[in-house]
Amino acid sequence: MYHYDDFDQAFVDARVAQFRDQVDRRLAGDLTEEQFRPHRLMNGLYLQLHAYMLRVAIPYGTLDARQMRKLAEIARVYDRGYGHFTTRQNIQYNWPALKDTPDILAELASVEMHAIQTSGNCIRNVTADHFAGVAHDEIADPRPYAEILRQWSSLHPEFSFLPRKFKIAVNGATHDRAVIQAHDIGLQVVRNEGGEIGFAVYVGGGLGRTPFVGRKVRAFLPERDLLGYVEAILRVYNLEGRRDNKYKARIKILMHEKTLETLKGEIEAEFEARDRALLDLPPEEVARVAAFFAPPALELKKPVSDRVERRRDKDARFASFLAANVTPHKAPGHVVVTVSLKPIGAPPGDCSADQMDAVADLAEDYSHGEIRVSHEQNLILPHVALGDLPAVYDRLASVGLATPNAGQISDIIACPGLDYCALATARSIPVAERIAQKFGDGAKARAIGPLKVKISGCINACGHHHVGHIGILGLERAGEETYQITLGGSGDENAAIGQIVGPGFSYENVVEAVETIVETYMGLRADASETFLDAFRRVGLAPFKEALYERSAGSDI
């Protein structure tokens, strides 16, 4: 993984000093809250319903054991003993005191971490496939490009006061695990006919109150042109993005209002006019950064482990864990272990300091010290030898982290909702908890198969409900929480925005409605191998509508 050199370290240290000074000036009254706001936001500090919230960047979701232990220590010393992993591969602390935040940033800087640009109207933490470097279907590791973009975008003098936030995601495999088409810029690593690496470039994706799937503006952008082209997109956006209405300020709206052809033309013209010498990516620099991400030397091992097979036969729970949470590694005899942060009946993505330490220990003992955070709010041990699985599983189980539900109906993405967020219009975490309790992590959930449920507590869509196979949006109507359900959304390479199934459901009835949807799917699927999404694409909304509104008493509007 990437390691800071003297320059990188000096940069984050200087940034901590700058923020310390800004906090001092705020506390002294030299900065108004309005003037302080963009600075605290550029350092990841939000003012939430109950307190400040600090969002720490985990660039492209890769971290090591030492960094995870520091996150645990911060949770213990400065927060209430836990943290919350987010859909953008970050971690949030919900209870820091303003006066402590410079110290927290200094602690982070001591392990090569920061909170730079995790919020604010700037280029946010660049995200990537959480299976980068270990996936079978990888064209190239996306993280060197994400790191190059991270550096280039850090405190960019021209792009720190954009019309609105700006998110970039990079995917390096054929299967899109980074939801790139829901980002302002989505970069898909591709090879051209000559075998050269480049990017398919998508612009204008985004969720929120007006969801759009990103549009392809370039089928093949040569690797060399990465920064030049991204700069051209950002400049067009900075100049022309709307600033009169923050809900219409994202580049997706500019794309929508100008049309793809016009915006693409402007981007290309800006790109053509660039100073070519300045931002071209030299192959040596790509190679230098890529070297940091070279996979660890893994011993070749047998692709089958007797120890694992014996345990599988006698331990149904372990067998479920193998089926749901273990993915093949590109190195034979190794696997990628997903550590679910979705225990049944608890807030999705929360992790205690003790659990973070336990994962750090496991990473050191079994995963070459490396950990990943996925946008699905789970942790990943990327390099585990197959034969070590029973030991890893037992240690995870001892700290409540062996929930065998990765990718299943109870592996839910949910925003903090009305319980924590000042913007929310409805609860989301309790709905997620109730759905998880209803379906569990056992035989019932396994029979349903892969199913992504995503819940947002307001139209800002932090829970990504638009791209949930089942999406749930909590709204407030006449003082009551009401939940709108969408079906058929998807965040992968066939990205789609879910379709609204019909009138909303009350807090009491929303779980029953999900149950009706699931039963309808189970009844109409061709066979057990036809997933919910495939079945939905075959049959459309009609059978679900009928089940929800004609045959059942689930609807209450």
Partner 1 sequence: MALWRLGGFADDGFARLADADALPSDGAVIVSLGRWLSERETLTARPAPVGVAVEAGADAQAHLADLAGRPLIALAFAKFADGRAFSYARLLRDRHGFRGELRATGDVLIDEIPLMLRCGFDAFEVENGPTLAALEAGRLPGPAIHYQPASGAVAETSPGPRPWLRASAAEDRPLSRPRGPSADC
Interface residues with partner 1 (CB under 8 A)?
A: 7, 10-11, 14-15, 18, 21-22, 25, 30-31, 35, 38-39, 121, 151-163, 227, 235, 238-239, 243, 273, 275, 278-279, 282, 285, 288
Sign of the dihedral defined by the CA atoms of residues 238, 243, 246, 251, in that order: negative
d(CA 91, CA 118): 10
Tell me the closest approach of the beta carbon of residue 293 to partner 1, in angstroms.
16
DSSP line for 76-142: HHHSSSEEEE-TTS-EEES---GGGHHHHHHHHHTTT-B-TTSSSSSBPPPEE-TTTTT-TTBSS-S
Q: Residues near 534 by Cβ (< 8 Å), separated by ≥ 6?
A: none
Residue closer to partner 1 (CB basis): 18 or 552: 18
DSSP 169-201: EEE-BSS--S-GGGSSEEEEEEE-TT--EEEEE
Q: Which is nearer to partner 1, 250 or 342 (CB)?
A: 250
* Residue whose CB is less far from partner 1, 273 or 304: 273
Nearest to partner 1 of 230, 501 (CB atom) = 230
Beta pairing, strands 350-352 & 480-487: unpaired
Whole-number minimum distance, CB 67 to partner 1, in Å? Answer: 20
Minimum distance between the CB of residue 123 and partner 1, rounded to whole angstroms? 11
Q: Mapped to the 3 state alphabet, what secondary structure does 115-129 carry?
A: CCCCCCCCECCCEEC
Tokens of 87: 């859909």
For 138, residues 6+ apart whose C-beta sits below 8 A from its C-beta are 129, 131, 132, 172, 173, 330
Nearest distance from C-beta of residue 285 to partner 1, angstroms: 5
Place of tokens 């898909």: 188
- Spell out the alpha helix ranges (H) of 273-398: 276-279, 283-292, 306-314, 316-325, 353-366, 389-398
Smaller CB separation from partner 1, 122 or 336: 122
Nearest distance from C-beta of residue 506 to partner 1, angstroms: 40
The strand pair at 334-339 and 197-203 is best described as unpaired
| Smallest separation, CB 248 to partner 1 (Å) | 15
The whole-angstrom separation of Cα 105 and Cα 90 is 14
Q: Quick one: 161 or 540, whose CB is closer to partner 1?
A: 161
What is the smallest separation between the CB atom of 108 and partner 1, expressed in angstroms?
Answer: 16
Q: How far is the CB of 125 from partner 1 (least distance, A)?
A: 14
Amino acid at 273: A
Residue number, 125 or 153, with CB nearest to partner 1: 153
Instruction: Specify which residues 385 forms β-bridges with.
Output: 334
Nearer to partner 1, 39 or 183 (CB): 39
